[in-house]
A and B are shown apart, each in its own frame.
Chain A
Amino acid sequence: MSAAVSDAWRPVRRLLAEPLGALGIALVLLVIGGAVLADWLSVYEPSRISPRDRFQGPSWTHLLGTDQLGRDLFSRVLHGGRIALSVALFSTAASLAIGVVLGLIAGYGPRWLDNLMLLLFDSIKSFPTVMLALALVTLFGPSLTAVVVVVVLVNVPGYARIIRTQTLALKESEFVTAAQSMGAGTARVLRVHIMPNVIGPLLILASMDIPVVIAIEAGMSFLGLGVRPPTPSWGAILNDGFTAIRDTPWIVIAGGLPIILTTLGFTFLGETLRDVFDPRLKGRG
């Protein structure tokens, strides 16, 4: 029993043993904690407008100051974390699910389908991310849905390609041929012999993509193409502060710092995860 418990904790201990991993975990826990406990930690309603308090610098009443509408930036940052994390989680999960399915089809299916899907992936990838986002926003209008669709479109071709490449390699491997020679059908080969071997590396890569997703959400909100006001979002805070950057720089600082801390945290964590669990992946962009 105790052996099982210590086995379960071993990966965590290995992560914590790496200074970068420990820092990453600390930052990620900080951000998640802030987002989960946002209602409890913040004294003010994130969207409550208070014209009397506009453009106040950081103080004990307003830890990070207030914006042009007198909203408390600390509360907005905490609640913005909820948006960022939920978008990141949801869209990454969606991209993973779609990417794995498409990748397995491309890798294991007939050759012509593989070529067709590769062309499609390459075409989608040939739109620069922001251009794709801008084009999609004209289609959907500014909204969180648009953000999620952009993230899925940006991530899926990459994930599908990785799964496809590995599936192609595994398809020719002797243990898959051995399973086929025993009479295993396509479903069994994919489920038992291919999936377990391709999913681990992809999960690690996806965890390293979370900062990218957060950047897309914040970037689109910064451009006014993501969440609609008055919903708090880190990008929206940056947008609010940017026009007043000369006189009230704290708004921009309040919007940018959580983005930096979150992306660094997830990246450090993802890097360490990869180094500890899958050293072969090192160097993948």
Chain B
Amino acid sequence: MKVTRRDWLVWGAGATAGVVLSPVPWKLLGDTSIWTQNWPWIPQPARGPLEVKASACTLCPNGCGLRVRMAGGWPVGLAGLRSHPVSQGALCPLGFGAHQLIWHPARLRAVRHRGGASSWDEARAAFVKACSEGPVGIVDGFPGRAASSVFESFAQKRNGAYRAVLGPESQALTPYEAWTRVPARNLGFDLENARTIVSFGAPLLDGWGTPGRFSHLWAERAAGQSDPQLRLIHVETSLSTTGSRAWRRIVIRPGSEAALASGIARVLIEDKLVPARGPMPLLTLSQAAEQSGISADAIRELAHTMVASQPVIAIANDDNPAIAALNVILGAVGSRGGIVQRSKPKHSTISTADLRDMRAVLIDSSMPWEFVPETRAEVFRFAAWDGGPTRADWLLPTPALLEDLTDMPTAPASAIETYAIAAPLVAPPTGTLSAAQFLAEIDPAAAPVEKIIRARCDELLRGRAGTVHAQESTPVTNIATAEKLEEQLRNGGVWVGEPPRAAALRCDLKEWPAERPSKPSARSSAWAAPVLPPLATKLYEESNLLQPVPRRNS
């Protein structure tokens, strides 16, 4: 029969009706909708036994205690370790996302020489050659580690220079070195016992020192109280988080912290608020007021408030001597709730040789990415991540946190001495070496990190002092062998020394140090890694909480 247009119309109509009435389209709809609920390309979390391990964060010198949740052999979550005596279960916001840094797109996975691809052999050859041609400088961000002593001894042998670059917390303690003859690394702020804390721009609540330490103090003794046990007076040039949360907030002209300190000191002495312990500042009160941009009365009022509730301590955000001198006037040096000596000075020979004269400079991964040595030497830059353009001839990939064996000595500015070990929880990517491992390969005679750590545990054991804080705390005297001690520490235990003997610190300040304006610190926060955890980057971008930092790698 002949097919006419009419037939087509009828069939078309019939077909449409038929299909719609049949279950086929609905079944298809159902299946597709279920399919959309798990697209094949949506990542699924790892299955596998969940285990929790304790360790220490190695991204900054504060070495907060880490509780690492692991699934399928990979870290899937970080949290603070409550048993840690200093960090007390807290982490900085960056720390909570740090386990993802292992996978950061900017992770360095191969040796690079002046932007081009290279190999460890070439790097090693170049470094050995450099060593044979002249002295090498080694720059360390977290002094006092086993790795640091590897650096130190290597530099010594090559009569090079070992240079430890300190964060603002430690820098604030350097002026006392001259007056107390105790190296800054053995000093600390006894915040725990202070009643009044005057911070000259130090971001006490925003990345100063060990995050958990001051925030706990503040939360327990100050937060929201009109007359707090712990009075936080924050001197700053523009509103900061710490300022907004402080008990009192003083706004001064940029760079006039020293002037204000002098003014306060003058008032303290003139009004006999303190027994005269030191020289009179050079600045007059009116000069101080004029420089700092607040009235003389305000300075006087501030001085009176400071001594109203003692002990009182002033904390600078740099190595400004005037503020240190203020502490001397306040009698805060060597007294409870002031600047205390937390440990005996160890014989350390920090050479003062200048990096400029070096043939080669090795920068450890513990140094912030921004750090660029003022030298024309060949620069060997160790880092786990590429933080963007920098002046380095060699980029050498190192293990990241949780991948490398590191010991973490006392945190900067801490009043008590601690010692922790971060044991590797996951294998580092192939082709990564830490600076210490690199040097050990070159100088097999030198003691490797493992040996030094063991030696230190042995030392701690022989010292018969202190306690190891883990789930339960054990006095060192109850620990049989160094192996046992090291094992405990490797499992996240923290050794804590005896409380500091404050009186033991003697300080004599002849004349008031020369005025100089405070310089903004080289290291704004303790964070040392070249990149941020992606989630932290997200936090910066998706909230008005924190300002994006230039270091960010997206």
Partners in one complex: no
Show the binding face of B for A, using Cβ within 8 Å. none
Show the binding face of A for B, using Cβ within 8 Å. none
